[in-house]
Structure 1
């Protein structure tokens, strides 16, 4: 059997696409324009959602809005449409639908969930630390918004967990750039990145390494007092850390005594030359 030629393959693809469009149009025609009681229509849409027939669910939730635009069911349907779009990974549409709800019903009972849907839709699009973190920053802002607006809600609790993960991601990005600067002998630029981790992401898993890298960088520049400060902060906060043991060996090799004691200033102040 000979392999299909490119033209034949293109025709097959076009036919499949046309069939899919016709199928969707047919479903829309079957689901729409049939007047039904609002609760019945909403429950049918919810049943489609439960069975993971997301396209059908979206069409039916939209029909709730069309047939009963001023009902509480229409308001709920806006959020459920956003949820169905989120479930089928159509994140931008989910965000748009959730924002539409917030714009029309900012004080609605589903507002907390709408804000949460925006946040998790952005969270799901986060990429690895080697790429641009614009989406990560947007997710962080939205997660913070959920925690700030609805601090006692279940959404805030989950948002806080995800926020910790987002901060770890952003700190990881700073560390990746800082290490590159260090390898490239751009030591001052590296210090700025590591200080950002210590100052802005001090509760993440990257803080210990950031302090160690600061010790390395300060010693490279001959800034011995600052190296001692960073090393002491590392030893006080993470005395059992492998990074501290490496720091201790490094400082000893440089002939620098390292006394770990409770800081008289905050961790951040101890890292700022001349801090009070």
Structure 2
């Protein structure tokens, strides 16, 4: 039995090593070239939309020439390429790395803008986009972070070339976040958790007053207060809702 176990161990180990060797052999490698050539090729790949090839070239540059003349630009390009490849964890990791290592860089407005875009992409749901299924009950943490990222950009760099788009995206995100809160408030109503529903509706009205969700939240407040027997506050919510 011991002999059989050792034989099987050798067999599995050999198979594992062979598999790893095969994977390494199949994986394309970037030729050993000067940094200038690799960077030029990466830019050509980006311009042609070959982001997979661009990422390989830029990663090779980042590894082989960590302190070369292209270091900072390579990191910026990697952020963009990872975003285009929808590799948002890599994009966000590179963004945080760049912010740590370059706290006074002239392109920080771009980096914060890209962090907002990457967090929006992380929150993106293809099923919702294609089938138009409302999924505002899902975790909003990525949208919240994206909202903060764009807010940081506008606060620190109000005249940035990215400011106008960031502002428009914040409006979009604000409406989404408000709808998420409304979905939670309505869920509380269904579960007859009326105090929770009223408190969540109040939060929507206070935090997102200029959204459709805020107007709908007033209806939730009416329902909650009515169920709790607080008729005067239910009537007050109804009057505000009628005005809006």
Common topology (TM > 0.5):
yes
Q: How does 1:44-83 map to 2 (within 5 A)?
A: 44-65=41-62, 66-67=64-65, 69-71=67-69, 73-83=70-80
Using the alignment, how far apart are the partners of 1:167 and 1:21 within structure 2?
46
Q: Deviations over 1:113-168 (max 9, x none)?
A: 11211111111121532222222222222222222222221322222222222222
| Residues 99 and 114, structure 1, Cα contact 8 Å, conserved in 2 | no
Q: Which residue of 2 aligns with 1:271?
A: none
Kindly indicate whether residue 169 of structure 2 is the aligned counterpart of residue 178 of structure 1.
no
d(CA) in 1 for partners of 2:25 and 2:77? 25
Please give the alpha-carbon distance, in whole angstroms, between the structure 1 residues aligned to 2:217 and 2:109: 36
Moved more, 54-63 or 161-170: 54-63
Q: Are 2:27 and 1:24 aligned?
A: yes
Is 1:171–1:206's contact at 8 Å kept on the other side of the alignment? Answer: yes
Please tell me whether residue 97 in structure 1 is matched to residue 94 in structure 2: yes
Which residue among 111, 115, 136 is the counterpart of 1:114? 111
Seen in structure 2, the aligned counterparts of structure 1 residues 204 and 150 have a Cα distance that, compared at 3 Å, is: same
Match of 1:208 in 2: 215
Which residue in the other structure is 2:40 paired with? 43
In structure 2, the gaps of 5 or more residues are: 1-17, 126-134
Equivalent residues of 1:122, 1:138 under 8 A apart: yes
Q: Residue 7 of structure 1 corresponds to which residue in structure 2?
A: none
Count of residues in correspondence between the two structures:
216
The Cα of 1:89 is off from its aligned counterpart by 0.5
Residue equivalent to 2:120:
123
More helix per residue: 2
Q: Give the corresponding residue for 2:33.
A: 34
Q: 1:17 to 1:164 in 2, by over 3 A?
A: farther
Aligned-residue offset at 1:63: 4.5
Q: Which residue of 1 aligns with 2:3?
A: none
Structure 1 CA distance for aligned equivalents of residues 219 and 239 of structure 2? 10
In the alignment, the residues of structure 2 paired with residue 199 and residue 70 of structure 1 have an alpha-carbon distance, to the nearest angstrom, of: 51
Which deviations, in whole Å up to 9, do the C-alpha atoms of 1:57-114 show, x marking residues without a partner?
A: 123334545448342x321111001110110010010111122222221221222111
Aligned-pair CA distance for 1:52: 2.3
1:23, CA displacement in angstroms?
4.5
Helix, strand or coil: the match of 1:98?
helix
Q: For residues 184 and 223 of structure 1, what CA distance do their matches in structure 2 show?
A: 19
Q: Distance in 2 between matches of 1:168 and 1:90?
A: 26
- In 2, the alpha carbon distance for the partners of 1:78 and 1:226 equals 56
Q: Where does structure 1 lack aligned partners over 5 or more consecutive residues?
A: 1-14, 239-276
1:212-231 alpha-carbon deviations (Å, 9 max, x no partner): 22122222323232223222
Q: Taking structure 2 as the reference length, what is the TM-score of the superposition?
A: 0.78
Q: TM-score, normalised by structure 1?
A: 0.69
